[in-house]
Amino acid sequence: MTEAVAPATGWMPTLPINATDQQDSSPHKPARRRATITDVAERAQVSKKTVSRVINREPRVTASKIERVNNAIRELRFSPNAQARGLALGRSFLVGLIYENPNSTYVVNLQLGILDVLRHAGMELVVHPCQRGSDGFLDDVRTLIERQRLAGVILPPPLSEDERLVAVLRDAGCPYVRIACTALDDAEVMVVSDDHVGGRQAAERLIELGHTVIALVRGPEGYRSSQQRGDAFVSLLTQRGITIAKEYDVEGDYTFEGGVAAGHRLLALAVPPTAVFTLNDDMAFGVMQAARERAISLPSDLSVIGFDDLPMAARVWPNLTSVRLPVREMGSLASTKLLARISGVVVPSGELEPPTLIVRQSDAFHGQVSPTQSSNYSSDAASTNEQTENLPGLLLESGRAVTWKRLFRSLPSPCSTVLNKRQLTANGFPKADGPLSTKNSTETAFARVRKLC
């Protein structure tokens, strides 16, 4: 398996730098001699030892020398070579991220969190994707550790759940930290995300919205995160008297394509669900795509809730309601714990924010439930208000007749709902299908509708 070295976006070495330190040149420019610590010393007119002291923020260096060294480093674009420095000093400056996860955005956010910490310790990150089911999986990891002389390894799910891999790391004497939805090891080597909290929040939300025909799209079999999120969701629904039949509980393999397939399968049922909870956002986007292909309105005819709260959740339409998992913070805490273990100091306990349901526009009330926003969840209020302000003009496009029902359906959640005559009459509105023929009447109706939100 090919390994890629992702340099930290900044560096602050904690040990003296050897004269073999170099800077990589761009492959798109003509080759040139790489700057060394000797070049920096000559440019700054100081000794190499002084350069080392400045980089390591050691005392006994005058302010003028510090300024000259830093200027020389910037002018020469000098950066230490982690592998060369490790050979010279007898230790490694590389941390490995070994992962098997189809969700690329999750992995990128995790890397950002890891680098937030590594960049301040003069360390770099080796990213190593792999597949547990491949031949020689464990041998490949063992070779990676030996060849790169890794100082430590971070294991995100689902690899963090593989005890065979953990045994390989222990045998190699390689420090590690595991990220998982539940405690699998001693506290000092664990970052626990408590995914079950998010599963219960999603169930509470759909119950509050009045849904009873609910579907669940799980991740791949064997993923503990999928099991914990899904089981917590089903358990709370069952406690409230709502059962998810077998045909409404399907697998979507944590990918967009899997979500599309699962969405078509669910929406083709004789009694399709009015709400779907997917155990990651990629599958939620897929379910939404399947609904569009079947001309099913979101969220008035189908509510969708995802998990992870990827950046794309706030960019698709309707904006996706999703359980926010603090992925970047998980990466930062994992690297903090790993560096403490490598340094032999007390490992900080650290605390993560629990998963939080972020309410946007992809879920709506069903049946007779009153359209009021619960205070138990967070919401993107600014996004909702901006979209709502533009509705009068949007509804009048192409000269189409605007009815009270269409006006309500066009509003973001929690205003959007499938209205019937009983609901309209109870709120003092005229006939549901009565047209609003002019711009003024539409704007007046719009103002009345907003009061209900």
Give pairs for 347-352: CB < 8 Å, separation 24+.
347/188, 347/189, 349/187, 350/191, 352/191, 352/192, 352/193, 352/194, 352/326
What is the separation of C-alpha 392 from the centre of its chain, rounded to a whole number of angstroms?
35
* Contact between 110 and 44 (Cβ < 8 Å): no
pTM over 0.85: no
Look at the alpha carbons of 407, 314, 205, 225 in this order and tell me if their dihedral is positive or negative: positive
Q: How sure is the predictor about 436, in pLDDT bands with cuts at 50, 70 and 90?
A: very low
Tell me how crowded residue 63 is: count the other CB atoms within 10 A of its CB. Answer: 7
The whole-number average pLDDT for the span 106-112 is 91
Q: Where are the beta strands (DSSP E) in 309-419?
A: 321-324, 356-359, 378-379, 402-403
Q: How sure is the predictor about 82, in pLDDT bands with cuts at 50, 70 and 90?
A: low
Side-chain-facing half-sphere of 189: CA atoms under 13 Å: 19
Residue whose C-alpha is closest to residue 122's, from 247, 11, 271: 11
Residue whose C-alpha is closest to residue 317's, from 252, 396, 380, 224: 380
More confident residue, 363 or 134: 363
Question: Which pLDDT belongs to residue 369?
Answer: 36
Q: How far apart are CA 421 and CA 419, in angstroms?
A: 7
Q: How sure is the predictor about 391, in pLDDT bands with cuts at 50, 70 and 90?
A: very low
Question: Which pLDDT belongs to residue 345?
Answer: 78
| 21-35, 182-196, 361-375, 377-391 — most confident range | 182-196
* Mean pLDDT of all residues belonging to the chain: 78
The whole-number average pLDDT for the span 289-307 is 95
The whole-number average pLDDT for the span 22-31 is 48
Q: pLDDT (tens digit, 9 = 90+) per residue, 236-262?
A: 999 999 999 999 999 998 999 999 999
**pLDDT at position 50 over 80:** yes
- Checking DSSP bridges between strand 124-129 and strand 94-99, what pairing results, if any? parallel
Residue whose C-alpha is closest to residue 415's, from 437, 444, 438, 387: 387
Question: Which pLDDT belongs to residue 284?
Answer: 97
Q: What are phi and psi of 284, to 5 degrees?
A: -65, -45
**pLDDT at position 22 over 50:** no
Q: How sure is the predictor about 342, in pLDDT bands with cuts at 50, 70 and 90?
A: confident
Question: Which pLDDT belongs to residue 453?
Answer: 44
Summary count for the chain: helices (H), strands (E):
17, 15
Residue written as token pair 């408590």: 194
SS3 call for 397? helix
More confident residue, 41 or 349: 41
Q: pLDDT (tens digit, 9 = 90+) per residue, 162-192?
A: 999 999 999 999 999 999 998 999 999 999 9
More confident residue, 229 or 396: 229
- Choice among 79-88, 236-245, 266-275, 342-351 with the minimum mean pLDDT: 79-88
CA distances 380 to 10, 237, 315, 414, Å, are 33, 26, 12, 12
In the chain, the N- to C-terminal Cα span, in Å, equals 54
More confident residue, 435 or 258: 258
Cβ partners under 8 Å of residue 389, min gap 6 = none
CA distances 49 to 19, 45, 53, 62, 199, Å, are 10, 12, 6, 13, 56
